[in-house]
Amino acid sequence: MQKQLQEYTNYLAVEKGLSKNTLESYRRDLNKFIAFLNKREVVNPEKVDREDINFFLAELKANKSATSTISRTIASIRSFFNFLMEEGFIESNPALNLESPKIEKKLPRVLTTSEIDRLLGQPRPGDHKGLRDKAMLELLYASGIRVSELIDLNLSDFDPRVGYLRCRGKGQKERIVPIGSVAINSVNEYMSKARSRLCKNNGETALFVNQHGNRMTRQGFWKILKKYAFKSNIDGEITPHTIRHSFATHLLENGADLRSVQEMLGHSDIATTQVYTQITRKKIREVYDKTHPRA
């Protein structure tokens, strides 16, 4: 079946325009499947039946393959046999109506308010980089924006007089996000005391700049966050999205409505935002179990 697999991957590359990484994933999954079939002495795609596929998937489960891996493998097999059917290599499709297992979504990591305080308290206010880092972290937690949106901010996007931030999300879709006084004060202090010392180019429009005076990069911010996360001595990995998740969860825990949080996060579908209600329900259950005398 290697000949058909090669024709199939050529089809995906030329007709579908799939990326190199995606092609490699399909090829890897199907090579494992073909190797399994060879052990069963099934070398002709016309001879493959539903039982062969089910035994292969059972072997993946027995080897404790992740649900996401099994789901992707099923998609690879299904697509491969659809191609073989369309090209006339087989007369019946053994992968027809092959269903993928449901992937259980993991709840995002959320910091407590005390952990947030520890993290945001790490930058040193006495130097220019510390003022910049403090402003970035405060703004990230105050607004819940993505790290890509943070580094894309321009000077014109921040107006401390109205207490709102303009950012550009996915697809360059603009939204206005409210920010609190603590973040406003931190950004103002950075603007008045540090930015001009860091920025060498008067024409630079970026709100946040690196040590070379250019726009802060995603990688640069990640390094900054990693440093302060280590210093704050908080267990587990902290990413920019951890702060975004914490922002949304803390709002809902304190009475914010889901639609408002959706607008602030820039989610096009409210179902994406609803994951945070699961976190708040879980916390309510924990509080109940700890405090109710008959829990």
**Shared-domain flag, residues 192 and 274:** yes
| pLDDT > 70? residue 261 | yes
Please give the pLDDT value at position 263. Answer: 86
Q: What sign does the dihedral 174-176-180-184 (CA atoms) show? A: positive
In a domain, 105, yes or no: no
Tens-place pLDDT, residues 21-62: 888 988 999 999 999 999 999 888 899 999 999 999 999 989
Same domain, 146 and 272: yes
Query: pTM for the whole thing?
Result: 0.62
Do the domain assignments include residue 230?
Answer: yes
Average pLDDT of the residues of the chain:
88
User: Once rounded to an integer, what is the mean pLDDT over residues 197-223?
Assistant: 92
- Yes or no: say if 123 and 130 are a contact pair by the CB < 8 Å rule: yes
Q: Tell me if 256 sits within 8 A of 247, measured CB to CB.
A: no
Is there a single domain that holds both residue 134 and residue 179?
Answer: yes
Q: Which pLDDT band, with edges at 50, 70 and 90, does 269 fall under?
A: confident
Final residue in a domain of this structure, among 86, 102, 125: 86
Compute the chain's Rg from CA coordinates.
Answer: 26
Same domain, 120 and 237: yes
Give the pLDDT confidence score for residue 16 in this predicted structure.
Answer: 77
Total number of domains in the chain: 2
* DSSP string over 202-220: TT--BSSB-TTSSBPPHHH
Residue 119's CB: how many other CB atoms inside 10 A?
23
- Report the CATH number at residue 222: 1.10.443.10
- Give the model's pLDDT for residue 183: 95
* Sign of the four-CA dihedral 221, 224, 225, 226: positive
Whether residue 167 is found in the same domain as residue 225: yes
Asked whether residue 244 is assigned to any structural domain, the reply reads yes
- If asked whether residues 265 and 124 sit together in one domain, one would say yes
Residue 197 in domain:
yes
Q: Where are the alpha helices (DSSP H) in 17-111?
A: 20-39, 50-62, 67-86
172 in the same domain as 244:
yes
Domain end: 45, 71, 86, which one?
A: 86
pLDDT greater than 90 at residue 235: no
Q: Give the pLDDT band of residue 14 (cuts 50, 70, 90).
A: confident
Span 117-128, mean pLDDT?
93
Residues 68 and 153 in one domain: no
Give strand pairing partners of 175: 167
Nearest CA-CA partner of 209 in 160, 136, 143: 136
Q: What is the CATH number of the domain that holds 33?
A: 1.10.150.130
Q: Is the pLDDT reported for residue 287 higher than 60?
A: no
Shared-domain flag, residues 278 and 133: yes
Q: Would the pLDDT of 273 be above 70?
A: yes
Same domain, 10 and 150: no
Of the pLDDT bands very low, low, confident and very high (cuts 50, 70, 90), residue 107 is low
User: In this predicted structure, what is the pLDDT of residue 187?
Assistant: 96
Regarding whether 235 and 145 lie in a shared domain, the answer is yes
Question: Between residues 269 and 109, which one has the greater pLDDT?
Answer: 109
Give the residue among 135, 112, 140 at the shortest CA–CA distance from 253.
112
Same domain, 155 and 274: yes
Residue numbers of the domain that contains 236: 113-291
Main-chain dihedrals φ then ψ at residue 116, nearest 5 degrees: -60, -45
Report yes or no on 100 lying in a domain: no
- Cα 112 to Cα 115, 186, 239, 241: the distances in Å are 5, 21, 14, 14
Q: Is residue 7 part of a domain?
A: yes
* Neighbouring-strand partners of residue 176: 166
**Which segment of 74-88, 98-112, 227-241, 249-263 scores lowest on mean pLDDT?**
98-112
**Residues catalogued as catalytic:** 146, 170, 241, 244, 267, 276
